[in-house]
Chain A
């Protein structure tokens, strides 16, 4: 008998799979369930020239933009929902130090569907007249060979690496999508299915038996997963649906600090460069604050 391979690694192992210049898709949506432990480690490691290809992005892109890790973002939205505009992303765009390639929201989803289907483009018939076409030169016009209709070919997302944050996975890389999930969690699954290098951070690594009890919810099977990392509170300050709420106080501190580039630098000195790793970050945030965010799911 040969033992089955364990895909368990560390957050540093995850970042080693994401070298400078990587075309990276980061799971989560707006201000929800981003793999923030990995995002912070990318900054600690001094990553440069990353392209983030996304759907609806938020504080994860804002943090990377402020820390100078990004060359380009391809997305439909970068913002912080109820917390307003993304201050560091905005500053980088206005200074001309970051390129953004704009897509519409549904197309930003469809680009990952194209990757899942291994298509060279996704067809679209409703972009005429928008400035998406004016500025996004990756989208090309074509004529439908069956109907003669004028259409546009939208490039697939095609990330080099996908990193998502899940509630639970096993050591082999089976990942559970909770029954009570919402759109952001389902988009993570589409992302993961369309890429050959998939990193999953999970709140908890569960036993093989636990996975078998939730077989219908294992929407990312082990062979799709490259690396699994246990990262409790790994999305903080974002929420993880069914586990904990967003840390609104931390978001407010982040927004206030990000009013200036200097203030943002003090924020990352304190919360990113200060703690040596994710566990030190959690200790800094503090058990009182973290436990106050715990959500009780259906009992």
Chain B
């Protein structure tokens, strides 16, 4: 038997630090969209931390924020879960109590009108302008690895107000100068470049990794190092990307307050279903 409760003075984990920083960035009344990613670190970054962050924001400063789990379950009762669901459209998620279920397309949200304020996505590669790839590694016609396809990435990066790109592994091969396939568009040519492509809305806001948070100089369209998590170093970051630039400095990712940690551990995720048992 493990004791899941932990005193708020205990040192926060990287997952908790990321979750709190995500939570602080959400505004009251926003609608946040997360898919249902499965498997280890991918599930933690793609689904569990976003859900924990949105729930924490609801408990702190954003009571009117709407969570869209798997894109369709509105404000699910996450505290009733004993394990994270692993399927987007099976009976488990259907039977999870929530406020509204989107059971058809087109449904409750008008995605093209901008109903969704922010989303979370991931990919095998992110590049220096914030493009994200979910389609292939290597040449498109004869790929080294064929992945799943563009899925909802084109929509995430244009129709949503902003995007948090959640990268569960921080390795050089994931952070490249130019992605092998642009599934979701970043800032090629900056905001002006996006406008020339006909894109007047959305785009990547942060790229979140186990080592750091990147953001963008949107005017010129270049990725920046926003902050480094406790325990990682600048050289650690610079050795593990291939953006074709060197980051000179960055602040440390802000730490959670005692109140945030207490809410996260004892109210949002008391069973450790989202961020793991402690």
- Tell whether A175 is near chain B: CB-to-CB under 8 Å: no
C-alpha spacing A93/B146, complex, angstroms:
7
Asked if A104 and B88 make an inter-chain contact with CB atoms under 8 angstroms apart, the answer reads: no
Most buried by A among B104, B144, B148: B148
Closest to A106 in B: B155
- Tell whether B276 is near chain A: CB-to-CB under 8 Å: no
Asked if A104 and B151 make an inter-chain contact with CB atoms under 8 angstroms apart, the answer reads: yes
Residues B123-151 near A (CB distance < 8 A): 131, 135-136, 140-151
Sort chain B's interface into a size bin: 35 or more
Residues A77-115 near B (CB distance < 8 A): 77-79, 81-82, 84-86, 89-90, 93-94, 96, 100, 102-107, 109
Residues B88-133 near A (CB distance < 8 A): 88-91, 94, 101-105, 107, 111-112, 131
Sort chain A's interface into a size bin: 35 or more
> Provided the pairs A82-B87, A241-B90 are in contact, do residues A128 and B185 lie with their beta carbons within 8 angstroms?
yes
Asked if B143 and A245 make an inter-chain contact with CB atoms under 8 angstroms apart, the answer reads: no
Asked if B198 and A30 make an inter-chain contact with CB atoms under 8 angstroms apart, the answer reads: no
C-alpha spacing A286/B125, complex, angstroms:
43
**Interfacial chain B residues near A100, Cβ < 8 Å:** 146, 149
C-alpha spacing A184/B182, complex, angstroms:
27
- Tell whether A183 is near chain B: CB-to-CB under 8 Å: yes
Distance in angstroms from A135 CB to nearest chain B CB is 6
Contact check: which of B91, B94, B197 meets A128 at CB < 8 Å?
Answer: B197
**Interfacial chain A residues near B146, Cβ < 8 Å:** 85, 89-90, 93-94, 100
Closest to B183 in A: A130
Asked if B149 and A187 make an inter-chain contact with CB atoms under 8 angstroms apart, the answer reads: no
Give residues in A with beta carbon < 8 Å to B.
Answer: 29-32, 56, 75-79, 81-82, 84-86, 89-90, 93-94, 96, 100, 102-107, 109, 125-132, 134-135, 149-151, 180-187, 190, 239, 241-242, 245-246, 295, 297
Give residues in B with beta carbon < 8 Å to A.
Answer: 38-39, 72, 86-91, 94, 101-105, 107, 111-112, 131, 135-136, 140-155, 158-159, 181-185, 188, 194, 196-199
3 nearest A-B residue pairs (beta carbon): A128-B197, A186-B104, A129-B185
